[in-house]
Amino acid sequence: MTALKVDNLSYTYPTGTKALCNITLDIQEQSTVALLGSNGAGKSTLMDLLLGWKPSANILLFDKPLKEYGRKELGRFIALVPQSEHYNFSFTLLEYTLFGRAPYLAEMGSPSDEDVHLAYEALETVGLASYAHRSVTTLSGGESQLVLIARAIAQQSKVLLLDEPTSSLDPANRRKVIDILQALHAQGKTIIFTTHDAPFAYELATHVAMLKKGSLLCFGTKERVVTSEMLTTLYETDMTVCSVGGRTLIY
């Protein structure tokens, strides 16, 4: 079943710069898709469009145009893990994760016991349950990223969007994030993430879409599209993909 269908999508900034040109993507449910490309390739813009944050007419979510979804309804289908978040107030981790429950609350309502329980479970999933009462301002960079993921998990959406989820993480935290996302994939979530890190993309994703200067270079299963030639074209620098002892190496 197609989760997200992007049909010949183009996007121009209000300033006149063309960000995306004729993108067509068919993202299947339960797949993990990496949007791969250098900085400025248009990955973030595409993500904004998939989220509905920037308006578009050419995107279908589960066969229904994105535009026709109500705000809260959309929130139940798609969750976002932003690249970073600033914390100006000392919310506890539990309070912060609870924010993810907003799409399920009445207009002026507040979280119920069930919501609290789900938020706590989300924190357990990312391994931060013991910090539930600490303030978000006391978190390290890696822990901060995990909390953002927890919030998105609490949202219980079918689709998860992640913006550069590991770009600022050390190897240990990177590993954690990959494990968590692989577990979510196993549960049936559709995961779409942007990155410029090809090895990371290869490790986590099932499918890869390569974006260069706003255009789609290729899209398909990672085995098919992640080749030395494609990567070299994408990055305009020599890239090699090779298999070593069953593992794929990219450099």
Partner 1 sequence: MNAERSYHNEQKRNRAILLSLLLLLLMLSLLFLFAGRYPKGGFSFPKDLSQNVMMKNIMLNIRLPRILLALIAGAILSAAGFTFQMLFSNPLVEPGFLGVSQGSAFGAALVIVVGNYNSALVQVSATFFGLLALGASYFLAKKFRFGGWLLRLVLSGIAVSAIFSSALGVVKLVAEPTKDLQDITFWMMGGLWNSNWKQILTVMPIVLVCLAILFSYRWRMNLLSLQEKSAYSVGLNPRLDRTVLLVVATVGTTLTISLTGLIGWVGLIMPHLARKLFGSDSKVALPGSMVMGSLFLLLCDTVGRTLLPTEIPIGLLTSFIGAVIFIVILSLKHQEGKA
| Binding flag, residue 178, partner 1 (CB under 8 A) | no
Contacts of range 242-245, beta carbons closer than 8 Å, 24 or more positions apart: none
Q: Which of 8, 15, 17, 71 binds partner 1 (CB under 8 A)?
A: 71
Please choose, out of 15-23, 114-122, 200-208, 219-227, the segment that lies near partner 1 by the rule CB under 8 A: 114-122
Q: Which of 108, 172, 186, 244 binds partner 1 (CB under 8 A)?
A: 108
Residue type, 116: V
**Burial 94-116, CB ≥16 within 10 A → b, else e:** bbbbbebbbbbeeeeeebeeebb
Report in angstroms the alpha-carbon separations of 50 from 1, 16, 154: 17, 21, 20
Read off the tokens for 63: 């066969």
| Binding flag, residue 95, partner 1 (CB under 8 A) | yes
Read off the tokens for 128: 């931060």
SS3 20: strand
Query: In the complex with partner 1, which residue's Cβ is closer, 83 or 232?
Result: 83
| Binding flag, residue 63, partner 1 (CB under 8 A) | no
Q: Which of 37, 100, 165, 214 binds partner 1 (CB under 8 A)?
A: 100
| Binding flag, residue 8, partner 1 (CB under 8 A) | no
Query: In the complex with partner 1, which residue's Cβ is closer, 2 or 135?
Result: 135
Q: Distance between alpha carbon 150 and the CA centroid of its chain, in Å?
A: 13
Task: Catalog residues that contact partner 1 under the rule CB under 8 A.
Answer: 48, 51-53, 71-76, 78-80, 82, 85-86, 88-92, 94-95, 99-100, 102-103, 105, 108-111, 113, 116-117, 120, 123, 129-130, 132-135, 137, 151, 155, 161
